[in-house]
Structure 1
Amino acid sequence: PVLIAANKLDLFTALPAQLVKKRLEDEITKIRSTRAKGLLDSAIDIEGDDEDREWLGEGGEGDFNFGQMKEAEIEVSVLGGNASAKGEEKTQVDAWWAWIAQQM
């Protein structure tokens, strides 16, 4: 299991956890697309080519989402929180601790 801890949610400019997840998925989709174009442009057949693409889920084709990682038995969770607190503020990491406890 993988936890992506979206920190700094106490800040006005912070992105919500679901938007962080979406942006990460979009960036991985871009990487897959770029890598696929590079592989198509190169006429060289590199051994292990398919294996390199597999880590990006579903053969590295189409839009990526973290749900695709389940086929490799990898559960990915994106949870928001705030690890630092000033003065009387409280940290907001309960969701992270709950996730960790659930994995044990």
Structure 2
Amino acid sequence: LQTGQTAYNWQVTNFDRPEKEDLIVYELLIRDFNQEKTWTSLINQIDYFRNLHVNAIELMPVMEFEGNVSWGYNTAYHMALDKAYGTEESMKQFIDLCHENGIAVILDLALNH
């Protein structure tokens, strides 16, 4: 827990999320998506997502877990991002960029483990 952090400066503050019945979802597990396995690598591949014509990316769990290999459903630290993927700031940059490109971001959560 870190208090007194500088708030992220969101570039897109008026994102209109798609209606549920209009969702075209791409499900993504960061650790299996590419070699880099980071938020920054997803940012660098925004054209890939745009070219798929999806309007939502569903991220499989991104919370910290015990061990090093998992799909994320064995969450141990529900409020902590997996540090292997990068910083909280880079996650927010990815979400902001998705919104800038008309893509919603959905988090798959596993809170009962």
TM-score by length of 2: 0.23
**Higher share in strand:** 2
**Which structure would you say has the larger RCO, counting Cα contacts within 8 Å and 6 or more residues apart?**
1
Determine which structure has more spread, i.e. the larger CA radius of gyration: 1
Higher helix content, 1 or 2: 1
What TM-score comes out, normalization by structure 1 length? 0.24
